[in-house]
Structure 1
């Protein structure tokens, strides 16, 4: 399981608005894992804001930016779609589409002003909505007697290990999710903690979502 399979994206679909020299810039942003999803979201926003001066957009699809696109939608060439796309890429976000709608306020911003306005619209929208890291992890399952739960629970919390589920029956069944490279060490630690009286079942692999609070997304 490669670290490259982990990626940053927005927490959820959202909307954020800024006003610059009486022009309204409304950013709608969504997770889109395919080009079709991206194009559908763009069309939906264009219909919603059909009376706007411009509906510009940018998207990046794929964990290695396999599909990217930006549109100025009538703004001067290079002042909207590309700055929006660069804003997404600078934050290292994947599978995201941003549509920035402008209602002209009567004051021209100039090329530099437009670039800053559209770029900042996307950046501020992302910061407003939030970012998560989608991490591909391996599930491991094991059973313990009730009288060992407190020490196992303490160990897992001390290591910040994600406990997906705890089932109480004849004994206690615990489901963990770990980065694959962390699985051997976790198993070894639990074996030592439980004096070898533990067996592990390998479960599914899935993406789990971890909130990202830092603004230095490029370092994640």
Structure 2
């Protein structure tokens, strides 16, 4: 099950005089990630590199920022994927200490920086939600409200027009069962406005 993290976590690693300052934080999209990276560059003008990796809403990124290709961004992204994270940005600011680490050493340093930060993270399961809309006759309004409450659905909107229009959300894995129960309890008199998927 995919997870995200609750609040930003940090870890600093020093390897052969190079400082690796890692931060892993919740991030909904690429635009937000780029703003964070720009802010880090401004806050750390003496840093040699600001590398980052993002997994958010189908958007992913792995940026080496001048490190040899594949030695920073990709290893960081692999840590995020391995831990099944979503909506998360990992950044590592590197201050070069004068000693080259080699490709293997860089991969280990960036991987360890992010992995160590994640050890401090409070992870939260991501529960996919589904929004459903239906119309029922007025006599079925009470039944709908009871069934939605029993299912733990979040009632977003109720509109009283010629019929009663319900808009509600619930965890995706519970939606099909509720639709089946409602169709049965309503004897086919519930009209789904947007086909449940």
Q: Is the shorter-chain TM-score for this pair beyond 0.5, marking a shared fold?
A: yes
How far is 1:100 from its partner?
A: 0.9
Task: For residue 42 of structure 1, report the CA deviation from its aligned partner.
Answer: 2.1
Structural mapping, 1:171-186, within 5 Å: 174-177=166-169, 185-186=177-178
The SS at the match of 1:52 is coil
Distance 1:151 1:8, change over 3 A: closer
Question: In 2, distance between residues paired with 1:199 and 1:59?
Answer: 42
**Candidates 191, 202, 205, aligned match of 2:193:** 202
Q: 1:140 aligns with which of 122, 133, 150?
A: 133
- Contact 2:157–2:168 under 8 Å retained in 1: no
* Structural RMSD (CA): 4.7
Identify the residue that residue 42 of structure 2 maps to in structure 1: 47
- Whether 2:149 is the aligned partner of 1:153: answer yes
1:118-133 alignment, distance < 5 Å: 118-125=110-117, 128=121, 130-131=123-124, 133=126
Q: Closer, same or farther in 2 for the Cα pair 1:29/1:204, shift >3 Å?
A: farther
Determine the structure 2 residue equivalent to 1:163.
154
CA contact (8 A) 2:22 2:90 kept: no
In the aligned structure 2, how far is the partner of 1:204 from the partner of 1:122?
Answer: 42
Shift of residue 80 of structure 1? 2.4
Report the alpha carbon displacement of residue 191 of structure 1 after superposing the two structures with TM: 3.3
Aligned mate of 2:21, from 5, 18, 25: 25
**TM-fit CA distance, 1:72:** 5.2
Over 6 Å off, 4+ runs: 106-109, 179-182
| 1:82 is aligned to 2:77 | no
In structure 2, do the counterparts of structure 1 residues 77 and 146 end up closer, same or farther at CA, with 3 Å as the change threshold?
closer
- Give the CA deviation at 1:10: 3.6
SS in structure 2 opposite 1:98?
A: strand
Cα deviation, residue 145, structure 1: 4.2
Out of 182, 185, 188, the residue aligned to residue 190 of structure 1 is: 182
Unaligned runs of 5+ in 2: none
Residue 87 of structure 1 and its aligned partner are, at CA, apart by 1.6
Distance 1:9 1:107, change over 3 A: farther
Alignment match of 1:58 (pick from 36, 53, 57): 53
Seen in structure 2, the aligned counterparts of structure 1 residues 42 and 113 have a Cα distance that, compared at 3 Å, is same
Please tell me whether the aligned partners of residues 142 and 175 of structure 1 are also in contact (alpha carbons under 8 angstroms): no
Gaps of 5+ in 1: 1-6, 206-220
Do the aligned residues in 2 keep the contact of 1:17 with 1:24 (CA within 8 Å)? no
